[in-house]
Amino acid sequence: MKHILVTGATGQIGSELVPALRERYGCAQVIAAGHKTKPQPGLAESGTYTTLDVTQIESIEAVVKQYQIDTIFHLAALLSAKAEEKPQLAWKVNMTGLYNVLEVSRKNECAVFFPSSIGAFGPDTPRDNTPQDTLQHPNTMYGVCKVSGELLCNYYYTRFGVDTRGVRYPGLISYDTLPGGGTTDYAVEIFYRAIKEKKYNCFLKQGTYLDMMYMPDAVRAAIQLMETDASRLKHRNAFNITAMSFAPEELAASIQKFIPDFFMQYTVDPVRQAIADSWPCHMDDRAAREEWGWEPRYNLESMTQDMIDRLTVKLNSGRL
């Protein structure tokens, strides 16, 4: 990777992936692109930022040619809950955007990272130790787009030789960006409420186990996969990866170790609960471990402590 483009750079993953890539490859080598004309502080100051509509293929190609891009981390997408609210827009952004990126990559010989998700599975998928290769019949537009994206990336690799790679992310937890409409967003919101108000009203019910990952691990996984020698990869699109699996009450208990007077109640959102109930409790990520050495560094306790420490500093500094 010499010249890198990150679409969706202002989103949850992109806002932390861009700084990590710039630290590793140099600020001038990483172009951040998003739909916002004014990105969060630091994203534009540390390197080039450009406004980009991924549904317009000419715009993508212009950026790729201008900056001689050889690798694209394609993160621009509507998340699960937002996608259910606006399924037509979700298909346009998630699928047309990916098709455009792959076409531009085919013409310009770019490698592509595409993040899939636990949302690519459905209610008939085995929920415990979900296999790498298994049934994928999602019942959400977000999931349909992810499965379609996995297949489209595989097609561009086998048919055109585009170096496509991807992972199936679990729920992601980050202190850097606010929740963006995902079903697992409770695991981010809860920290803000715990620090500011000492209470949280959870939209998922007790006992809802879901795979989760702290953002530093998610960022490292994306970079590590793209840096892996291609000869080691058998699956490419997309590897199960995970770090921890917990239910809301277990996360609340972990937070109470650091904020003893925190308490949580429940007002279940039936839409997001139905989505969560169709997703895996825990994915089998042996393929990623064997093919490119994946291994998480954070568990529930270490993630909770780091999240509280960093978010407390952020909130006290007035950055929100």
Q: Cβ contacts of residue 102 below 8 Å, gap of 6+?
A: 112, 152, 153, 156, 162, 164
Based on the domain organization, do 166 and 271 belong to the same domain? no
* Interatomic CA distance for residues 255 and 234, integer angstroms: 39
Q: Which residue has the tokens 């001038």?
A: 28
* Interatomic CA distance for residues 53 and 57, integer angstroms: 8
Based on the domain organization, do 161 and 270 belong to the same domain? no
Based on the domain organization, do 22 and 90 belong to the same domain? yes
Structural domain for 273, as ranges: 171-212+243-316
- In tens digits, what is the pLDDT along the chain, a chain of 320 residues? 899 999 999 888 999 999 999 999 999 999 999 987 777 777 777 889 999 999 999 999 999 999 999 999 999 998 877 888 899 999 999 999 999 999 999 999 999 999 999 999 999 999 999 999 999 999 999 999 999 999 999 999 999 999 999 999 999 999 887 766 678 889 999 999 999 999 999 999 999 999 999 999 999 999 999 999 999 999 988 999 999 999 999 999 999 999 999 999 999 999 889 989 988 999 999 999 999 999 999 999 999 999 999 999 988 876 55
Q: Which residues are tagged catalytic?
A: 142
Based on the domain organization, do 248 and 179 belong to the same domain? yes
Based on the domain organization, do 280 and 264 belong to the same domain? yes
The number of distinct structural domains making up the chain is: 2
**For position 319, what pLDDT does the model report?**
59
- Domain CATH for 204: 3.40.50.720
Indicate the residue type of 261. Answer: D
Based on the domain organization, do 152 and 251 belong to the same domain? no
Based on the domain organization, do 248 and 283 belong to the same domain? yes
* Interatomic CA distance for residues 34 and 49, integer angstroms: 8
For residue 200, what is the enclosing H or E element? strand 199-202
**For position 181, what pLDDT does the model report?**
65
Based on the domain organization, do 65 and 135 belong to the same domain? yes
Based on the domain organization, do 220 and 294 belong to the same domain? no
Based on the domain organization, do 121 and 259 belong to the same domain? no
Pairing of strands 4-7, 30-34: parallel
Kindly give the residue spans of alpha helices, DSSP state H, lying in the chain: 14-25, 57-66, 80-85, 87-91, 97-108, 141-160, 186-196, 215-227, 248-256, 270-277, 286-292, 300-316
**For position 146, what pLDDT does the model report?**
96
Based on the domain organization, do 301 and 228 belong to the same domain? no
Based on the domain organization, do 153 and 176 belong to the same domain? no
**Cα→Cα distances 131→92, 223, 238, Å:** 30, 23, 12
